[in-house]
Chains A and B, each alone.
Chain A
Amino acid sequence: MDFTSKERLDQWLDSAFRQYGNAEPRAGLEQRVLANMNKQQERIAPRSLWALTTAAAVAVIVFLWLAIGPQHTKHQPNEAQSRAHPVFQDLPPLRPSSGEPKRAPKEMRRIAGRNRTQVAAAPRLSQFPSVRPLSTQELELANYVKHFPNEARLLAQEHEQFEKQIEEAQRSATNGTTLREQER
């Protein structure tokens, strides 16, 4: 080694590394940092206020849509709903309910039950099934009933009697076959 002494090199290294690490910043570093942070905070504050206002507005819109929206959504009309229309409510039933209703198979009942729970999640309606617009056929029928109520009633009664006769004929036919089988 060509240096005057190892000790001198060590001393020099200590001094060099001390100078290497001890850098002095420009005067007023703390003030600049604080001023910058203050500016940043001022920028953040209105942004967070905007975010809060927007979130509140969105929440109100969603709430209103959930409260009012589903009542205005359109559904396909079905028979039960059509029967609920006030025009048909004062008419006698076309087909009398014959005893107990037929029971649905187990599978069907399970599906129906599942559907019922899904419907229950929706907001409760004032009238169920809700009033739906009538089809063209139903509207024509309603007009006829409105203008000729007596004729409509007679027609309904005739239709009812005709259906009864058919049912009796079917019953007697089935009884006849069972008697013949017993005689044999």
Chain B
Amino acid sequence: MAEAVISNGAISLAGTNEDALEVAVRNHARLVYRIAYSVLRNHHDAEDATQETFMRVLRYRRKLEGIDDPKTWLARIAWRVAVERRKKRPEPSLSDQEMAKAVSELRSQLASAEESVIGSEMQSLLDSLICRLPEHLRDAFRLSTIEELVPEEIAQVLGTSESSVRSRMFRARRILKEKLASLEGRYGFHKQREA
């Protein structure tokens, strides 16, 4: 893909640093995007954050050749960029109606044995529940949802140990499960009364 881009004349990056940079973009742009999306939950913002991440990399491109693990290095930059951008935005909140809709979706999906695609309400519900987690649990959990990252790499991005990451992921999952159960109880009860 990159060769075609070069032959089209769209890219004229030359030299070893630029080659390394191009390889980094080709191999890790998708990961950077997913990290940004896991924090920002918006495709447009995630793409902007991806561009900003690679602009920062361009600024420090001389370092790139001396780095043993460019994937983790890029992931850390992407994470910082996304978190900085997220700080400028308000926390998401769901109305009662949206919450009830998401819970009914959850009930119907649980009733069927097949794996189905989760809808936008369910996505918003999950996001709002994750946002309410304590910061250290939330960070580890968000990164753990990205399939390209293993706990060891998540630990490097967050600057902590692998065991700590595993423990945080487990605790975050347990809290989310409890919250979903309590929501189901609350909205399920309302639904029964309405019926």
Contacts and interface: CB of A to CB of B under 8 A. Distances in A.
The prevalent SS among residues of B at the interface is helix
A33 B29 contact: yes
Interface string B146-190: 110000000000000000000000000100110011001100100
A37 B173 contact: no
Contact of B110 (A3, A37, A41): A3
Given A1-B181, A4-B111, A29-B30, A22 B25 contact: no
Task: Give chain B's interface residue range (CB within 8 Å of chain A).
Answer: 35 or more
B34 A22 contact: yes
Contacts, number: 119
Given A12-B110, A22-B147, A34 B13 contact: yes
A3 B38 contact: no
A35 interface: yes
Nearest to B127: A20
Nearest to A44: B58
Nearest to A42: B12
Interface of B: 1-2, 5, 10-13, 21-22, 25-26, 29-30, 33-34, 37-38, 43, 46-47, 50-51, 54-55, 58, 106, 109-111, 115, 117-118, 122-123, 126-127, 142, 144-147, 173, 176-177, 180-181, 184-185, 188
Interface of A: 1-4, 8-13, 15-23, 25-26, 29-38, 40-41
